Amino acid sequence: MVQAAPLVARIKVDRKQVGLKIGIPCERGFQENRVAITPQGVALLVHNGHEVVVERDAGIHSFFTDQDYAEAGALLVDGPTEVYQCPLVVKVGPVPAEELHYLRQGQMVFSALHLPSMKSGDLKEIIGRRITGVAYEYLTDRSGFQPVVRSMSEIAGTMAILIASEYMSNQFQGRGRLLGSVTGVPPTRVVILGAGTVAEHAAKAALGLGSEVALFDNSIRRLRRLQLLLGRPVYTSVIHPSVLVSQLSTADVVVGAMGARSGRTPMVVTEAMVMGMKAGAVIVDVSIDQGGCFETSRLTNHTQPVFEHHGVVHYGVPNIPSRVSQTASESLSNILTPILLEAGQRGGAEALLWLEQGLRAGVYCHQGHLTQRHLGETYHLPWTHLETLMGSGM
């Protein structure tokens, strides 16, 4: 039964500095190459009196060696058992099903949820383990932004243009086109669907290379904001089918960068529209992890990233930041390390929950209770506001 959210009760919180014990396991998710905390982050945590336990080879796919972690002061262990004995566990992807049995009551786990692929049974087991789970999808900073989502979106937006450039070249069986402009040759045309962070960085990358850019979104406010951020006039339009068809027919690259407020991303490009595109054009559907915004899109992976349909190359990998794992890991570590340091300064991660609304926003389960409305409605599970639980002293 859902309860209304009262204000969090004001109680005395112990702000005494404490030493944290933090576990960093290997990522076993499919083609997940990132690591949550880099050796530089570990060194900073250790320098401030915290203990960091790292599973061997945790950073290998981000090109951080075990020696790098050892020199940073981490304790290296074989296998996940000792890592999950830590009161704080920090991951990139969700805890895999085969590791859920390691979770124990009172533990706090930072990770992504990857909602489209989450199984109801796994979520129920996580709740039943009575941990405190913090999801990157919900975590906010003091300005109200979602730092992890924003950071990964910046990477995905920039990479979308670089990926498209690859598949336009001869090297990747493209039509031998340069994404950008050369004196005397008409510039490539890039259409971007959406006006959020992914779209912003895709547009910046495309404009930086000299391409012509057209932006589509149903929010005039977002379009205006993005045009101001770009600092130059670009073609903008609300999503009107006849206008979109015209722009798609001459596009060399189309980037799907639309978000979903809840549920599936709106599908705005039909198969008929794709059939009207130029042969050799490239679609990069960054929204594929939320269903995609092209009728012809489907999930691909880093091993087989593209397929051709109606003469158009489609890229549908859902985890684009993992393609540049070291950069993505450094960005994630730069967000998480200060949170962990502040937790130590404020008396522990649980104490920090009382003091930081942004961290509370990231909590999706707490001591056996689901605390996110969206998850409750999606998986038909009872949920309770975290503030209600904390106000009742649970």
- pLDDT tens-digit readout, 15-63: 567 899 999 999 999 999 999 999 999 999 999 999 999 999 999 999 9
Note the pLDDT of residue 118. 86
User: Would you say residue 10 lies in a domain?
Assistant: no
Last residue of a domain, one of 280, 315, 350: 315
Number of independent structural domains in the chain: 2
User: Would you say residue 144 lies in a domain?
Assistant: no
- CATH number where 87 lies: 3.40.50.720
208 and 274 share a domain? yes
110 and 179 share a domain? no
210 and 99 share a domain? no
298 and 335 share a domain? no
Strands 88-90 and 21-24: parallel
- pLDDT tens-digit readout, 263-310: 678 899 999 999 999 999 999 999 998 889 999 999 999 999 999 999
User: Would you say residue 8 lies in a domain?
Assistant: no
Note the pLDDT of residue 259. 83
200 and 258 share a domain? yes
Q: Please indicate whether residue 201 is annotated as part of the active site.
A: no
119 and 196 share a domain? no
Q: What is the spatial distance between Cα 43 and Cα 314, in angstroms, rounded to a whole number?
A: 42
Local confidence band at 260 (pLDDT 50, 70, 90 cut-offs): confident
Note the pLDDT of residue 5. 40
45 and 117 share a domain? yes
User: Would you say residue 147 lies in a domain?
Assistant: no
Q: Which domain holds residue 328?
A: 21-138+323-391
Which one of 66, 68, 114, 310 is the catalytic residue? 114
192 and 291 share a domain? yes
Note the pLDDT of residue 387. 87
Quick check: 8 pLDDT over 80? no
User: Would you say residue 143 lies in a domain?
Assistant: no
User: Would you say residue 348 lies in a domain?
Assistant: yes
Quick check: 1 pLDDT over 60? no
User: Would you say residue 286 lies in a domain?
Assistant: yes
Q: What is the spatial distance between Cα 391 and Cα 256, in angstroms, rounded to a whole number?
A: 42
Note the pLDDT of residue 306. 97
- pLDDT tens-digit readout, 143-163: 889 999 999 999 999 999 999
- pLDDT tens-digit readout, 313-367: 999 999 999 999 999 999 999 999 999 999 999 999 989 988 899 999 999 999 9
Last residue of a domain, one of 288, 315, 342: 315
Quick check: 210 pLDDT over 50? yes
Last residue of a domain, one of 271, 286, 315: 315
296 and 251 share a domain? yes
User: Would you say residue 3 lies in a domain?
Assistant: no
Quick check: 92 pLDDT over 50? yes
Strands 306-309 and 282-285: unpaired
Residue count of the chain, please give it.
Answer: 394
Local confidence band at 117 (pLDDT 50, 70, 90 cut-offs): confident
124 and 160 share a domain? no
Note the pLDDT of residue 392. 58
93 and 171 share a domain? no
Quick check: 2 pLDDT over 70? no
Q: Which residue has the higher pLDDT, 2 or 86?
A: 86
Are the CB atoms for 2 and 67 separated by under 8 Å? no
Note the pLDDT of residue 342. 95
Q: Which residue has the higher pLDDT, 114 or 341?
A: 341
261 and 186 share a domain? yes
Which one of 217, 285, 289, 385 is the catalytic residue? 289
Q: What is the spatial distance between Cα 58 and Cα 232, in angstroms, rounded to a whole number?
A: 43
Q: Please indicate whether residue 14 is annotated as part of the active site.
A: no
**At residue 192, what are phi and psi to the nearest 5 degrees?**
-120, 125
Share of the chain above pLDDT 70, in %: 94
